[in-house]
Amino acid sequence: MSAATERLPLRPVARRFFQRPTLEVARDLLGCLLVHETPEGVVVGSIVETEAYGSGDPGSHAYRGKTARNAPMFEEPGRAYVYFTYGIHHCLNAVTETDGVAGAVLLRAVEPVDGLDLMRARRVGVRDRDLARGPGRLTKAFAVGSEHNRADLTSSELRVCSGERLPEQMVQRTARIGLGRTQDGRRWRFAVKASPWISAGPTGAARATGSRRS
């Protein structure tokens, strides 16, 4: 591993880190390191953007109750919830709350810290800045797929390791755009302010809610 991460402890966070209110977890995941070890090598990224999906959020997969797909959101905190969308992309979530209560945090972007060459190989032809800037790009750069659904993020080869605690000044918290507000206001996006690695902002704006083609 490179000098950048040699000095870091790369210690997985504890289960109880995830067994908390979704908003808190989403906030505290900023600055943590996402690590994935595969036979090809190791990639490490610093989490710079997250999105909270708590109960009562109409945008949450769990809003209408438990189904085959969203079941992991109701299960053990600290595990991964991976789903496939738009026929192309996988999205990686960390399950939160307690067993029986649905909650998850979508990992939207990381700043590449280690394994840059491996990420580049998985994302041929894109600028380094775009390697993992966006939930779909992140899973591609980190080779995360459906096989990681329910992976234990506190102990498996795909894990979240503690990083630095970011000062509040660096944290930007915004209501999610595009799908309307929730009554309890639980849907929020957290990002490291002014980080060039976040997908939020003009370039990452959600597509307007319009009718779709037939």
Partner DNA sequence: CAGAAGATCATCT
Partner DNA sequence: GATGATCTTCTGT
Residues that bind DNA (CB under 7 A): 51, 53, 59-62, 64, 67-70, 73, 81, 83-89, 91, 93, 104, 106, 123, 125-126, 130, 134-138, 140, 199, 204, 206-209, 211-214
| Beta carbon nearer to DNA, 17 or 142 | 142
Distance CA 140, CA 124 (A): 11
Q: How many CA atoms lie within 13 A of 106 on its CB side?
A: 23
Nearer to DNA, 159 or 187 (CB): 187
CB of 97 to DNA, least distance (A): 12
Q: Taking the complex as a whole, how short is the minimal distance between the CB of residue 3 and DNA, in angstroms? A: 28
CB of 181 to DNA, least distance (A): 15
Which strand (E) or helix (H) includes residue 24?
A: helix 22-29
Q: How far is the CB of 6 from DNA (least distance, A)?
A: 29
**For DNA, the closer CB: 105 or 113:** 105
Q: Which is nearer to DNA, 8 or 144 (CB)?
A: 144
User: In sequence order, what DSSP letters do the residues of 82-146 get, joined into one string?
Assistant: EEEETTTEEEEEEE-S-TTS--EEEEEEEEEEE-HHHHHHHSTT--GGGSSBSHHHHHHHTT--G
Instruction: Kindly state the DSSP code that residue 34 receives in the 8-state scheme.
Output: E
Could you tell me the smallest distance in angstroms from the CB atom of residue 9 to DNA? 28
Instruction: Show the tokens assigned to 60.
Output: 């949450």
**By C-beta, is 67 or 98 nearer to DNA?**
67
168 class by beta-carbon count within 10 Å (0-12 exposed, 13-18 middle, 19+ buried)? exposed
